A and B are shown apart, each in its own frame.
Chain A
Amino acid sequence: MTGNTTILVAVILFSIVLIACLVLRPSITATRGGKMLAFVALLIFPALAGGMGVNRHIERSKSTNFCLSCHVMEDYGKSLRVDDRSFVPATHFQYNLVPRDQACYTCHTDYTMYGDFNSKLRGLKHVYAYYLGKPSQPIKLYRPYNNRECLHCHLGARSFEESEAHTKDPQALSRMKLNQLNCSTSGCHNIIHNVGQLKDATFWKEQEK
């Protein structure tokens, strides 16, 4: 249990104890002190516990394990361990180009002002489709992948700015930066999860530390 979770559990348990006092002896609210206790126990602490709980769950929902906990995502999780550097997500995952514990979220959030919020809204849509609808097969993005998400890390990097493939055409770099030349669909980095090819693939086994 992490430190934050321990604090949250303590807040929840303390709230329950305070509320239990009021449930057992509601007559204490007749006094001034009792009214203050009721305000703290019925409003302040539950609001604090609720807010901290939602925040904890939002943080947890960024984890790779959380995304891969749905059955439909299993193959996408496997594709992160394909032993082939042409698989873009696998390379990012295995070479620590993205944090492994937040691999899905790092590439699939929007790097905009409300990007986190929007990606969580999309997550709710996924939950709806998973439990009440029918997930599309194969799974598709809602809109074409935006270069902005790649450039969040790669922009300014020497490997990106001075790459021979990127500088051969003098217009290419600026078109990529303007999202006019898509990194993943222009024929350069177009092997993404490709879950249809997994049955013939070999997989990287992480060595025990």
Chain B
Amino acid sequence: MNTQPTKIERRIRLAGILLIAGLLVELVTLSWGRPTAFLFCCWVAR
């Protein structure tokens, strides 16, 4: 049985990891009331 992830599965995994990282940054900036937090959040959303 082939257990190697396919190309699309590898891409989904990478996209998921990047999205989780972005969401964690957004979560951190929510408790941070300075202009840099605003910039970080905009950058993540982009």
- Of the candidates B27, B33, B37, B42, the one whose C-beta lies within 8 Å of that of A12 is B27
CB <8 Å contact, B23 and A127? no
- Of the candidates B15, B36, B45, the one whose C-beta lies within 8 Å of that of A50 is B45
Among B7-25, those with CB < 8 Å from A are 8-10, 12-13, 15-17, 19-20, 22-24
Q: How large is the interface on A (under 10, 10 to 19, 20 to 34, 35 or more residues)?
A: 35 or more
Q: What 0/1 pattern do residues 151 to 190 of A give for CB contact below 8 A with B?
A: 0000000000000000000000000000000000000000
A27-B9, A66-B34 are contacts. A57–B41 as well, Cβ < 8 Å? yes
* Interface of chain A: mostly helix, strand, loop or mixed: helix
Q: Which residues of B contact A (CB under 8 A)?
A: 5, 8-10, 12-13, 15-17, 19-20, 22-24, 26-27, 29-30, 33-39, 41-42, 44-45
Which of A5, A13, A50 has its CB near the most chain B CB atoms (within 10 A)? Answer: A50
Among A6-61, those with CB < 8 Å from B are 8-9, 12-13, 15-16, 19-20, 22-23, 26-27, 29, 38, 41-42, 46, 49-51, 53-54, 56-58, 60-61
Q: What's the count of A-B pairs with C-beta under 8 Å?
A: 93
CB <8 Å contact, B9 and A26? yes
User: What's the minimum C-beta distance from B5 to chain A, rounded to whole angstroms?
Assistant: 6
CB <8 Å contact, A57 and B42? yes
CB <8 Å contact, A42 and B16? yes
CB <8 Å contact, B30 and A127? no
A22-B16, A57-B37, A65-B33 are contacts. A16–B24 as well, Cβ < 8 Å? yes
Which residues of B are found within 8 Å of A69, using beta-carbon distances? 33-35
Q: How far is the CA of A61 from the CA of B30 in the complex (A)?
A: 12
Q: How far is the CA of A26 from the CA of B9 in the complex (A)?
A: 5
